[in-house]
Amino acid sequence: MHLETDLANIDDVTHDQLRAELSRLGDGSDRAILSIDGSTYIQTAVFGNGLVVEKREGGGEETHFHAVPRHPELPPAKPKPKRLWWQKLFAHDPDLTSECAFTLAEVQQIFADYLAGRTSDLPKQWDQGYCDR
């Protein structure tokens, strides 16, 4: 499988390489995609309270799913800074949080299971579409 992050592109990624690159998320890298091909992959992105996980199962939008965690929403990793009114209107909020956020350890397990060809039992379920909450 191929691993792509903001800091690395690795063909035939090993378990150790996967774990190491996922550990760099939030520290210079905000996303990771582990792919079989261009339409079959699992991906994660950094949010202010953890990482969101999505997958696509070999097709278009109808085969795109997001993982729903078993635990309640994670709290923000740090307090949100006060933003000026114009920043709220025009600037991207780097501290967005998500109800669908997982911890790094959970994401490492989900990705390790995917690399091994197993379905992870960590997500409560996979809901169709993107996690927009």
> What gap in Å lies between CA 42 and CA 5, rounded to an integer?
12
- The residue among 65, 64, 26, 30 whose CA lies nearest residue 45 is 30
* pLDDT tens across the length of the chain (133 residues): 999 999 999 999 999 999 999 999 988 899 999 999 999 999 999 998 999 999 999 988 899 999 999 888 887 776 666 766 665 555 555 567 888 999 999 999 999 999 999 989 888 999 998 876 6
Whats the size of the chain, residue-wise?
133
| Cβ neighbours of residue 125 closer than 8 Å, sequence gap 6 or more | 67, 68
pTM of the model: 0.84
